[in-house]
């Protein structure tokens, strides 16, 4: 997590002032009984200006298995308007069934919109996010790498060189759903 000042510092430090940002909106789903949360899974519909997809994230021994179905923008916007998970998601529905989750019981829990700036640097893909959800506004720095074990030290060095204090971030789905629960 970053403060707003650290976010601006990172933009300057990594030369991202002229890198075009893009916006994505995430719709997070689960059942009223928190079936996905209880299995440590996450389910979202994500849409950009010209594309949309649904993704189910399932924990593995190392990392996450991501099951993704492409959607139309109309399907994604309909999910946002109705609160119903899109029906045209065969790969996700098959996996949910294997996990004992009833698709018709899914409901929209939270919406999070992110403005993201991405740049590939020597150690991986750097992403700076500015997000809005449930009346909150936050900033985050992510680094996507191939080998998480050897790259943790590089990540901490990167932050130190940029003058940024390391503050672990809960993932976006947890932040958005927790904030939504508090605001209800």
Let me know whether 83 and 72 are in one domain: yes
Let me know whether 158 and 129 are in one domain: yes
d(CA 102, CA 118): 36
Give the CATH number, domain containing residue 77: 2.40.320.10
Let me know whether 140 and 152 are in one domain: yes
pTM (2 d.p.): 0.87
Domain boundary residue among 74, 92, 109? Answer: 109
Rg (CA), the chain: 17
Give how far the C-alpha of residue 99 lies from the chain's centroid of Cα atoms, to the nearest Å.
22
- Total domain count for the chain? 2
Let me know whether 12 and 35 are in one domain: no
pLDDT in tens, the chain (184 residues): 999 999 999 999 999 999 999 999 999 999 999 999 999 999 999 999 999 999 999 998 877 899 999 999 999 999 999 999 999 999 999 999 999 999 999 999 999 999 999 999 888 899 999 999 999 999 999 988 877 666 788 888 889 988 898 999 988 888 998 887 766 5
> Which of 25, 46, 50, 9 is closest to 131 using CA atoms?
25
Domain boundary residue among 66, 81, 109? Answer: 109
Let me know whether 33 and 104 are in one domain: yes
Domain boundary residue among 90, 109, 128? Answer: 109
Let me know whether 120 and 103 are in one domain: no
- Containing domain of residue 36, as a range? 28-109
């Amino acid at each position: 997590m970053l403060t707003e000042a650290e976010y601006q510092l990172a933009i300057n430090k990594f030369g991202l002032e002229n890198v075009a940002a893009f916006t994505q909106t995430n719709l997070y789903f689960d059942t009223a009984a928190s079936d996905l949360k209880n299995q440590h899974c996450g389910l979202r519909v994500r849409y950009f200006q010209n594309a949309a997809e649904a993704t189910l994230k399932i924990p593995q021994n190392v990392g996450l298995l991501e099951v993704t179905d492409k959607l139309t923008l109309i399907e994604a916007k309909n999910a946002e308007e109705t609160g119903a998970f899109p029906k045209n998601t065969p790969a996700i529905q098959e996996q949910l069934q294997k996990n004992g989750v009833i698709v018709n019981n899914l409901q929209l829990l939270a919406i999070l919109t992110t403005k993201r700036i991405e740049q590939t640097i020597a150690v991986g893909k750097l992403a700076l996010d500015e997000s809005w959800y449930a009346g909150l506004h936050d900033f985050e720095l992510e680094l996507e790498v191939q080998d998480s074990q050897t790259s943790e030290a590089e990540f901490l060095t990167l932050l130190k060189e940029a003058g940024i204090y390391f503050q672990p971030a809960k993932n976006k789905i947890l932040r958005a759903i927790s904030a939504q629960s508090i605001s209800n």
